[in-house]
């Protein structure tokens, strides 16, 4: 457990927190003293995650929240404020990523719309509901989980477009919210080892060679970056997109392997 206490007595809401990056963020902020509401469409899994953290003496509750539904989002925000007395930090981790069909022209409207609605509009819904409370706290912070898919072509048309939209929303909302004392930032992960890769370990091993730092990410890597941006250590940072990608978008390892073979 970290010795930091940057979120002591902070009310925190994390979406998509039943597993993966969201669960790691919930753990990290709770370990640093936060009172965390783990929200997810999968309530049983969210409750399991919350129970595991409570067993470690952390202040964590679970609540069902579908970011595609305005009423569900507003209920989750109200529950966090009512339970913790305030809402100081919102972390938007919920997303939808549907595999591409072979031909772009065969992409169905409904899957395209679903990925954008959850991944981009869901963040809009959460920020809209939370912003008055974040402003009232006097130390409000929003951190959303983006993706390197917003920067380069890694497939997944709708998901990538939504993550690119998050970059714009982060900037415009940061400009709007600054006068109200709320900071808004974005973390853009590269490949992270989560349950989405279950059964695809061979692919993960192959991807390691594309990363200058020699490995794919772990959920804790992303949680650490979120904790920094949500904390007062980042008090003069807003509207920023922080890439946490092992150097993937900074250096092309495959190119260097061709033009400058190892050992030459």
pLDDT for position 252: 79
Instruction: Tell me the residue range of the domain where 234 lies.
Output: 11-259
Can you tell me the mean pLDDT for 153-171?
A: 97
Tokens of 143: 């951190």
Number of domains in the chain: 1
Residue 261 clears pLDDT 70, i.e. is over it: no
Residue 100 · residue 155 · CB < 8 Å: yes
Quick check: is 163 catalytic?
A: yes
Alpha-carbon Rg for the chain, nearest whole angstrom, is 18
Quickly list DSSP for 120-187. IIHHHHHHHHHHHHHHHHSS-EEEEE--GGGTS--S-HHHHHHHHHHHHHHHHHHHHHGGGT-EEEEE
In this prediction the pTM is: 0.95
Residue 138 clears pLDDT 70, i.e. is over it: yes
Please give the angle made by the CA atoms of 13, 19 and 25, to the nearest 5 degrees.
Answer: 45
pLDDT for position 263: 63
pLDDT for position 22: 98
Of residues 35, 48, 159, 211, which has the active-site annotation?
159
Quick check: is 48 catalytic?
A: no
pLDDT for position 199: 86
Is 4 part of a structural domain of the chain? no
Is 254 part of a structural domain of the chain? yes
Can you tell me the mean pLDDT for 202-225?
A: 94
CATH code assigned at 22: 3.40.50.720
């Amino acid at each position: 457990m970290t010795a930091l206490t940057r979120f002591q007595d902070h009310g925190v809401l994390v979406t998509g927190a039943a597993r993966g990056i969201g669960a790691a963020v919930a753990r990290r902020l709770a370990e640093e003293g936060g009172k965390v509401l783990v929200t997810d469409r999968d309530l049983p899994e969210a409750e399991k995650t919350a129970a595991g953290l409570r067993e470690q003496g952390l202040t964590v509750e679970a609540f069902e929240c579908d970011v595609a539904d305005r009423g569900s989002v507003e209920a989750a925000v109200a529950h966090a404020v009512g339970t913790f007395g305030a809402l100081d930090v919102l972390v938007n981790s919920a997303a939808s990523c549907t595999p591409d069909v072979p031909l772009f022209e065969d992409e169905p409207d409904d899957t395209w719309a679903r990925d954008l609605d959850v991944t981009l509009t869901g963040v809009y819904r959460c920020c809209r509901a939370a912003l008055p409370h974040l402003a009232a706290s006097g130390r409000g912070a929003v951190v959303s989980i983006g993706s390197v898919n917003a920067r380069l072509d890694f497939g997944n048309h709708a998901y990538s477009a939504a993550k690119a939209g998050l970059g714009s929303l982060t900037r415009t909302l940061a400009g709007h919210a600054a006068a109200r004392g709320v900071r808004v930032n974005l973390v853009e992960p590269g490949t992270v080892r989560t349950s989405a890769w279950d059964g695809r370990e061979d692919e993960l091993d192959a991807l390691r060679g594309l990363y200058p730092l020699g490995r794919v990410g772990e959920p804790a890597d992303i949680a650490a970056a979120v904790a920094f941006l949500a904390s007062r250590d980042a008090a003069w940072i807003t509207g920023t997109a922080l890439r946490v990608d092992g150097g993937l978008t900074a250096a092309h390892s495959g190119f260097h392997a061709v033009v400058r073979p190892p050992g030459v």
